[in-house]
Amino acid sequence: MPVSEFFLEVSSTPENLAVIRNKIRAYTKSFKVSVTVVDDIELAVDEAATNVLEHAYSNQAQGLIQIRAWKEAEALTIVVRDFGRGYKPQPVTYKDIRRILEGYARKGMGRFIMKECMDSVRYKSIPRKHNETLMVKKLKRDR
Amino acid sequence: MSNFKFNVRAGEVSGCLICEVIGTLDITTAMEFEITTHKTIKQGNERLIFDFSQLDYINSQGLGALLSLHKVLDSGGGGLVIVSVAERCQRIFDITGLDKAISVYKDIAEALRKDPLFKVR
């Protein structure tokens, strides 16, 4: 059973990314975990929400972003949901990141960061319904 | 109003500019950052030091802007380095290995002392 739940719904404006970051940061900090874990979760959620703005809503502000999170068995699950256009994310490898760093490509950095920050990241698109990025992070408490 | 400021001042070496980047570099500010820096480059400044000591947050959009600027400067014979990265922003540098593409130094003095970009020509 989830012990503590988080829910946030905002419109898809770039300015709301700061709102999302601040809220998820405060929620994560409540579990007394390390600063690195808090930073990682904030960064991953921010990247997922940025992808929603870019891919699902093509940088238009009329869409909705829902973020749901809950802690269960020392792991935090976060779902970033949108109601826009779905897409097929391609796997991003270290080789892809090297190409981005060398200036030969620009796409994929956000997804790579999400994967590095979280223990698992999955994207699911249900046409004409919604799209979801589901992320899990194991929580290690500060000692 | 965006949480972003860009202060430029002349550096200690001729032709080098120190750019203090303040606030957040994300989707709301990365383009403004890139455009402002492009204007600086067009004015003939080809060697830039980005001081990140007052940068609170950066994500992939900010990194993308930095890499784009690095490519422009590099192809023109100049370059950029980053100094004084705040602890909170260090994590994304570590994850992505940005320092393999762009040199990162502890502070301005170290960058001027160590980076070949700032050797007197």
Predicted ipTM > 0.90: no
Q: Which of B91, B96, B100 sits opposite A109 (nearest CB)?
A: B96
End-to-end CA distance of chain B: 41
Average pLDDT, chain B: 90
Asked, for residue A21, whether it belongs to a domain, the answer is: yes
Strand (E) or helix (H) holding B38:
helix B30-42
Report if residue A143 sits inside a domain: no
Query: Which residues from B are below 8 Å from A101, CB to CB?
Result: 67, 96-98, 100-101
List residues bridging with B10 in a β-sheet: B17
pLDDT digits over B2-11, tens only?
A: 577 888 777 7
User: Is residue A105 included in any domain, yes or no?
Assistant: yes
Query: Residue A38: inside a domain, yes or no?
Result: yes
d(CA B69, CA B87): 23
> What is chain B's Cα-based Rg?
13
**pLDDT score of B11:** 73
Mean pLDDT of B108-116: 93
DSSP A118-143: SSEEEEEEETTTEEEEEEEEE--B--
Q: Taking the domains of chain B in order of start, what are their residue ranges?
A: 4-118
Extended beta strands in chain A, E state: 5-11, 64-72, 75-82, 120-126, 130-138
Check: CB of residue A100 under 8 Å from CB of residue B67: yes
CATH architecture of the region B4-118:
2-Layer Sandwich (3.30)
- Over residues A69-86, mean pLDDT: 95
Residue B68 in contact with partner chain A when CB distance is under 8 A? yes
Q: How confident is the model at residue B119 (pLDDT cuts 50, 70, 90)?
A: confident
- For A127, the token pair is 């046409």
Q: Output the pLDDT for position A92.
A: 87
Q: Once rounded to an integer, what is the mean pLDDT over residues B19-40?
A: 93
pLDDT at A141: 65
Highest mean pLDDT among A92-101, B11-20, B88-97: B88-97
pLDDT score at A1: 43
Q: How many domains does chain A have?
A: 1
User: Two tokens at A135?
Assistant: 């992320």
Chain B interface mutation, best of A55, A97, A99, highest count of B Cβ atoms under 10 Å? A97
Overall average pLDDT of the A112-126 stretch: 96
Q: Give the per-residue pLDDT at B5.
A: 84
Question: What is this structure's pTM?
Answer: 0.91
Tell me the chain B residues in contact with residue A98 when contact means C-beta distances shorter than 8 Å. Answer: 100
Q: What CATH number did the domain enclosing A71 receive?
A: 3.30.565.10
Asked whether residue A120 is domain-assigned, the answer is: yes
Question: What is the C-alpha separation between A99 and B34, in angstroms, rounded?
Answer: 20
Tokens standing for residue A106: 């620009």
The one-letter amino acid code at A41 reads I
| pLDDT mean across residues, chain A | 91
Q: How far is CA A3 from CA A69, A70, B6, B28, B75, in A?
A: 11, 7, 43, 34, 54
Tell me the C-alpha distance between A101 and A109, whole Å: 9
B96 Cβ under 8 Å from any chain A Cβ: yes
Expressed as residue numbers, the domain containing A47 is 5-138
Task: Assess whether pLDDT exceeds 70 at residue B99.
Answer: yes
- The predicted model gives A86-93 an average pLDDT of 86
CA distance linking residue A23 with residue B14, whole number of Å: 45
Report yes or no on A37 lying in a domain. yes
